[in-house]
């Protein structure tokens, strides 16, 4: 599955990006370039689906793909999918159900949800059996505090809550395929029953550890979608205080700060002075904002006439390489203006 996801990303990048861009998108780097790439090449759904992925692991997989001849590098070190790789993609079309990934939306709450959900099950099922000493499988303090807070409310009626939680979880699992459901359950830890590690799950299912990570993430994304749609009370609590994060703008923290300033009417020069940042950085932020906020007023930065001129060239050319667009326009406009149009154009397309 991981191979499929990588090939899928590479294919969408249209041999205009390096291997590192794929990594940053999957890993979920909150940098302007990565967010722009994810938007531009329609990869927001897989953004940040594998935040634990280490660069060395990624490189290893990419090397294997290069060696097997499914991907290759062009002279600019841009990566593309070979004919053989494309065949793999068509052959496995629909196999992995990656359409259910919802990376950009769930990037910030996905891990939080998994931690709270897992620790709640472990804690409640042990305590309900009068076993008060167990090693929590989730170590981070914030999650433990969160579970403790809820436990204090539920403690007199743990059984009832567990029954509810079980009902809702079961209902969800029955909407997905058997294999994913089994994997999901194998991972859970409860009273006298410890979940399997990723390594063990990989062996059991005869796939790679990366595949397991992706399968689990996919199932949890579907779970989150299910909770948002059906809103079962016993599950909603895991995210309700963080629901704001779901809809939080898909942007870097630094861009968010810039946004707060330009909203008050500051110009690029003003923001540069206030934030002690370079012009190019502020411009990056504005491009990022244009992607994230469809209603952002960009007329301050580019006139309607200019916008239309650039948009025309973009529309006529499938290639989204900035330098090409710039030369098509006889170098009349700078990169900032072109990127701004691309950002807006991309949004209008959708």
Q: Which residues form the interface with another protein (CB under 8 A)?
A: 52, 121, 125, 128-129, 132-139, 159, 162-163, 165-166, 169-170, 173, 178, 181-182, 184-186, 188-200, 203
Q: How far is the CB of 322 from another protein (least distance, A)?
A: 35
Q: How far is the CB of 116 from another protein (least distance, A)?
A: 14
Q: Which is nearer to another protein, 203 or 263 (CB)?
A: 203
Q: How far is the CB of 233 from another protein (least distance, A)?
A: 16
Count CB atoms within 10 A of the CB of residue 261.
17
Question: How far is it, in rounded angstroms, from Cα 137 to Cα 35?
Answer: 32
Question: How far is it, in rounded angstroms, from Cα 14 to Cα 4?
Answer: 16
Pull the structure tokens for residue 242: 């963080």
Q: Which is nearer to another protein, 84 or 167 (CB)?
A: 167
Q: Which is nearer to another protein, 185 or 322 (CB)?
A: 185
Radius of gyration of the chain (CA): 23
DSSP state of 193: B
Pull the structure tokens for residue 18: 């390096």
Question: How far is it, in rounded angstroms, from Cα 239 to Cα 241?
Answer: 6
Residue partners of 170: CB distance under 8 A and separation at least 6: none
Q: Which is nearer to another protein, 236 or 347 (CB)?
A: 236
Q: What is the DSSP string of 238-265?
A: HHHTTHHHHTS-SS-HHHHHHHHHHHTT
Q: Which is nearer to another protein, 31 or 181 (CB)?
A: 181
Q: Which is nearer to another protein, 132 or 348 (CB)?
A: 132
Q: Please, which residues bridge with residue 81 across strands?
A: 71
Q: How far is the CB of 73 from another protein (least distance, A)?
A: 29
Q: How far is the CB of 257 from another protein (least distance, A)?
A: 20
Q: How far is the CB of 243 from another protein (least distance, A)?
A: 24
Nearest alpha-carbon partner for 32 in 327, 335, 349: 335
Q: How far is the CB of 174 from another protein (least distance, A)?
A: 8
Contact between 34 and 69 (Cβ < 8 Å): no
DSSP state of 75: T
DSSP state of 196: P
Q: Which is nearer to another protein, 85 or 190 (CB)?
A: 190
């Amino acid at each position: 599955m991981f191979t499929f996801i990588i090939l899928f990303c590479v294919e969408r990048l249209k041999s205009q990006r390096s291997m590192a861009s794929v990594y940053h998108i999957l890993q979920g780097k909150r940098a302007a370039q990565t967010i722009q790439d994810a938007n531009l090449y329609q990869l927001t759904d897989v953004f940040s689906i594998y935040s634990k992925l280490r660069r060395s692991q990624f490189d290893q997989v990419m090397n294997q793909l290069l060696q097997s001849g499914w991907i290759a590098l062009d002279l600019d070190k841009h990566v593309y999918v070979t004919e053989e790789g494309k065949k793999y993609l068509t052959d496995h079309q629909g196999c992995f159900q990656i359409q259910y990934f919802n990376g950009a939306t769930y990037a910030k709450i996905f891990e939080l949800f998994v931690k709270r959900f897992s620790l709640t099950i472990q804690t409640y099922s042990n305590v309900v059996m009068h076993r008060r000493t167990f090693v929590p499988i989730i170590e981070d303090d914030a999650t433990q505090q969160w579970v403790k807070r809820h436990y204090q409310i539920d403690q007199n009626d743990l059984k009832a809550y567990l029954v509810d939680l079980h009902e809702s979880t079961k209902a969800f699992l029955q909407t997905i395929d058997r294999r994913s459901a089994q994997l999901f359950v194998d991972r859970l830890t409860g009273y006298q029953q410890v979940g399997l590690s990723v390594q063990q799950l990989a062996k059991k299912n005869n796939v790679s550890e990366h595949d397991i990570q992706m399968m689990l993430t996919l199932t949890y994304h579907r779970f989150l979608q299910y909770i948002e749609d059906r809103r079962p009370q016993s599950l909603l609590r895991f995210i309700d205080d963080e629901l704001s994060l779901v809809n939080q703008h898909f942007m870097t923290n630094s861009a968010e700060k810039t946004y707060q300033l330009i909203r008050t009417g500051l110009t690029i020069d003003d923001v540069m002075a206030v934030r002690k940042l370079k012009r190019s950085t502020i411009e990056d932020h504005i491009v990022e904002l244009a992607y994230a906020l469809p209603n952002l007023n960009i007329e301050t930065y580019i006139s309607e006439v200019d916008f239309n001129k650039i948009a025309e060239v973009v529309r006529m050319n499938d290639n989204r390489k900035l330098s090409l667009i710039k030369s098509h326009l006889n170098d009349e406009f700078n990169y900032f203006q072109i990127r701004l149009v691309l950002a807006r154009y991309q949004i209008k397309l959708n």
